[in-house]
């Protein structure tokens, strides 16, 4: 793993272009799984486990992506099988995206209240076998861009000295405004995990929409700057549908 995040490095623009190329090759999510009604429950489990193990957002989002697309293509018949698949997705994603010392240990997983409340434990053999099954299902390719892979790059241009504040909060200090906007953007990023509707959009669109929705919440004008359009290659019109879906829960 690199010492510095890719979005802060000299090759950030090249990495971004590569991710944009890769997202065009992602398979279509069909929402065909008979277990789709259980999706939110298992997404919540992955979110809680990843928070418990302090995994990075990219690992969490990759885990949910793997779970969704595996469920979309294969029939998982029992509750324990689905738990095993979900946890294996998290293990694979953490090994691919996070630090080695953050990868969940079997003891950690089995000791969580989530699994112990179901009256079963997972074994190392079960998890390794399922990890292998997942790798084969995804042709051993886990380089799968999610919105979490784009967000921090777009946040670099999220606040400008030229921004107009439509009210006195937050403070007009760009540094504090950027900190506040980052919190909003990561909140919206987690919102995108809760509904498979966001698979209708490219991951980079979702990430950019998280920034746009955050600027709207903070009443920064313009809602989408030239710098954001330059770094993302998206106009506000391109993002408007996704932004509207993100903002719906706030105005119910």
Q: What is the pLDDT of residues 180-194, one digit of tens each?
A: 999 999 999 999 999
Whole-angstrom distance, CA of residue 10 vs CA of residue 104: 32
Whole-angstrom distance, CA of residue 127 vs CA of residue 247: 38
Q: What is the DSSP letter of 7?
A: G
Q: Do 131 and 95 touch, CB atoms closer than 8 A? A: no
Encode pLDDT of 33-82 as tens digits. 888 888 998 999 899 889 988 999 999 999 999 999 999 999 887 778 88
Q: Do 171 and 137 touch, CB atoms closer than 8 A? A: no
| % of the chain exceeding 90 in pLDDT | 62
The pLDDT of residue 1 is 45
Helices (H), the chain: 12-23, 39-52, 57-73, 79-97, 106-111, 113-116, 124-137, 147-155, 174-191, 203-217, 226-232, 236-247
Q: How confident is the model at residue 224 (pLDDT cuts 50, 70, 90)?
A: very high
Q: What radius of gyration, in Å, describes the C-alpha atoms of the chain?
A: 19
Q: Do 246 and 192 touch, CB atoms closer than 8 A? A: yes
CATH of 147-250, one of 1.10.1040.10, 1.10.472.10, 1.25.40.10, 1.20.1260.10: 1.10.472.10
Q: Taking the chain, what is the end-to-end CA distance rounded to the nearest angstrom? A: 42
Enter the pTM of the model.
Answer: 0.91
> How do the domains of the chain map onto residue ranges?
28-138, 147-250
Residue 118 has pLDDT above 70, yes or no: no
Domain 28-138 listed as CATH 1.10.472.10: yes
Whole-angstrom distance, CA of residue 198 vs CA of residue 180: 24
How is residue 93 written in tokens?
A: 């994603």
């Amino acid at each position: 793993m690199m010492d510095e995040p890719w979005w802060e490095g000299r090759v950030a623009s090249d990495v971004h272009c590569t991710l944009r190329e890769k997202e065009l090759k992602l398979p279509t999510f069909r929402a065909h799984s008979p277990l789709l009604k259980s999706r939110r429950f298992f997404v919540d489990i992955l979110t809680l486990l990843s928070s418990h193990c302090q995994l990075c957002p990219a690992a969490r989002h990759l885990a949910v992506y793997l779970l969704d697309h595996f469920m979309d293509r294969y029939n998982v018949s029992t509750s324990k099988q689905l738990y095993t698949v979900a946890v294996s997705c998290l293990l694979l994603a953490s090994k691919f995206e996070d630090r080695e010392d953050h990868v969940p240990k079997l003891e950690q997983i089995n000791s969580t209240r989530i699994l112990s409340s179901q009256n079963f434990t997972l074994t190392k053999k079960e998890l390794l076998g399922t990890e292998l099954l997942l790798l084969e299902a995804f042709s051993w390719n886990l380089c799968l861009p999610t919105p979490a892979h784009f967000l921090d790059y777009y946040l670099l241009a999220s606040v400008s000295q030229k921004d107009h504040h439509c009210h006195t909060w937050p403070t007009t200090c760009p540094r504090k405004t950027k900190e506040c906007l980052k919190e909003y953007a990561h909140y919206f990023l987690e919102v995108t995990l809760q509904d498979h509707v966001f698979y209708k959009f490219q991951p980079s669109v979702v990430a950019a929409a998280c920034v746009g929705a955050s600027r709207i919440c903070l009443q920064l004008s313009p809602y989408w700057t030239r710098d954001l359009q330059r770094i993302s290659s998206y106009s506000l019109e391109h993002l408007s549908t996704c932004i509207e879906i993100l903002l719906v829960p706030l105005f119910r």
